[in-house]
Amino acid sequence: MKNRLESAFLTYFNRKDGQSFFSPGRVNLIGEHIDYNGGSVFPCALSYGTDGIAALRDDDMVCVYSKSFSKDIDCFSIKDLVKENRWSDYIKGSIKALLDHGYQIDHGIDLYIEGTMPLGAGLSSSASIEILVIYIFNTFYKFNLSKETMAKLGQYAENKFVLVNSGIMDQFAVVAGRKDHALLLNTHTLEHEYIPVHLGDYQLLIANTNKKRGLADSKYNERYQECQTALHLLKDDYKITYLCQLDHQQLDHIENKLNPTLFKRVKHVVSEQHRTLLTKEALSQGDIKTFADLLCESHQSLKHDYEVTGVELDTLQEALMTSGALGARMTGAGFGGCVVAVVHKDQLDHMKTSVDDIYQKKIGYPPTFYEVNITDGTSHL
């Protein structure tokens, strides 16, 4: 891969002095829609992500070519970072985050990037690019940024420049990932621990619905507001500041305090937090079957209580289970995007053929499959 990047850098920038980097994507194994409710999530960094090669320039320009997005080299000054609703906003936002937090940057870079993951599928291609750029400037300028600081800068870029209200999970998982481990991350405190994920004869398989995203943002905001309303109604009686402070055993007692819709939302949040902690215990003990069962329970909760799946995700999840997956659930915001499944390695080829057939017959177009491994966070190659 390094030789390929060096060859591309020579082609587009006529330079041989580039340094190569890799920034992974991420998948959240379990713990969906609880990050904005003060809960713990369970992401891991993926072997699919963003490859990049860069070198410092003598001026203040940043010149970028992306194999995925560019027709020509895109150049802008670090002194004139203007949002244009283009892919390069993620790069501009990352530089702006560094500048806004007092890190001095005098020279720009030449940067070539290419991605190996599907865009818009909920695998954090945006966070992958943001952390890649911050990591590159950290390397060149020797800022000695911690992983937590880089994650916060990436989130700042997304929230304040790109203007997407994401939590910190994506950037944290991208920069702090560890090979063959998932991160149990408390999104409220940023306390985290690494949990080993040794699947043995099983493989993580990500299946992309290939549905064009449309409803996710509006429904995300709707669910957020519903959770805030429920919290307002419950916080005084239960002395809580966020919903994930509720214990799953308290659900029976709060049902009569909320209307049916709000109760279903709270039921998902509280039970999903419980499933996330049970997943930590299962994987710590190498119990793949319990982990897989919890994935299925999570999907049913997202389908019936949080109502964020939709026909494409449900069809794909059901097809995976019918075709022999040990466990599967939607991952990401919902209404499109991906399903993450645990599949026996001997069944992978059969599984893809079977699921493709079932999905196409019902939905009308094929899914895409990615056999993924859990890898380290953003790194200098």
Beta strands 43-56; 109-115: pairing state: antiparallel
pLDDT at 219: 82
Compute the distance between CA of residue 80 and CA of residue 61 in angstroms, rounded to an integer: 10
**Which one of 170, 201, 252, 356 is the catalytic residue?**
170
Compute the distance between CA of residue 168 and CA of residue 153 in angstroms, rounded to an integer: 10
Q: Single out the residue of 213, 153, 183 nearest to residue 334, CA to CA.
A: 213
| Domain 2-195 CATH assignment equals 3.30.230.10 | yes
Q: Is 35 a catalytic residue?
A: no
Residues whose CB falls within 8 Å of the CB of residue 233, separated by 6 or more in sequence, listed in order:
257, 258, 262
* Domain spans of the chain, in order of start: 2-195, 202-372
Q: Single out the residue of 117, 121, 148, 139 nearest to residue 50, CA to CA.
A: 117
3-state helix, strand, coil in the chain (%, to 5): 45, 20, 30
Compute the distance between CA of residue 38 and CA of residue 286 in angstroms, rounded to an integer: 27
Q: What amino acid occupies position 59?
A: D
Q: How far is CA 129 from the centre of its chain?
A: 12
Compute the distance between CA of residue 109 and CA of residue 76 in angstroms, rounded to an integer: 10
Predicted model pTM: 0.91
Residue 12 in contact with residue 55, Cβ under 8 Å? no
Residues whose CB falls within 8 Å of the CB of residue 61, separated by 6 or more in sequence, listed in order:
75, 76, 77, 78, 108
Burial class (CB in 10 A: 0-12, 13-18, 19+), 72: exposed
Q: What amino acid occupies position 233?
A: L
Residue with tokens 């890649």: 132
Residue with tokens 């940057």: 105
Residues whose CB falls within 8 Å of the CB of residue 52, separated by 6 or more in sequence, listed in order:
5, 20, 21, 22, 23, 111, 112, 113, 114, 132, 136
The pLDDT profile of the chain, 381 residues, written as one tens digit per residue, is 778 999 999 999 999 999 999 999 999 999 999 988 999 999 999 999 999 999 999 999 999 999 888 778 999 999 999 999 888 899 999 999 999 999 999 999 999 999 887 666 667 788 999 999 999 999 999 999 999 999 999 999 998 998 877 778 999 999 999 999 999 999 888 999 999 999 999 999 999 999 876 555 668 889 989 999 999 999 999 999 999 999 988 998 999 999 999 999 999 999 999 999 999 999 999 999 999 999 999 999 999 999 999 999 999 999 999 999 999 999 988 888 899 999 999 999 999 999 999 999 999 999 999 999 999 999 999
pLDDT at 11: 93
Q: pLDDT tens, 29-74?
A: 999 999 889 999 999 999 999 999 999 999 999 999 998 887 789 9
| Torsion angles phi and psi, residue 63, rounded to 5 | -120, 125
Burial class (CB in 10 A: 0-12, 13-18, 19+), 170: buried
Give me 357's structure tokens. Answer: 């057939």
Beta strands in the chain (DSSP E): 19-28, 40-41, 43-56, 61-66, 74-77, 109-115, 181-186, 192-196, 202-208, 327-331, 338-344, 368-372, 379-380
> In CATH, which superfamily holds the domain spanning 202-372?
GHMP kinase, C-terminal domain (3.30.70.890)
Question: Which of helix, strand or coil describes residue 222?
Answer: helix
- The sign one gets for the Cα dihedral 3, 22, 123, 220 is negative
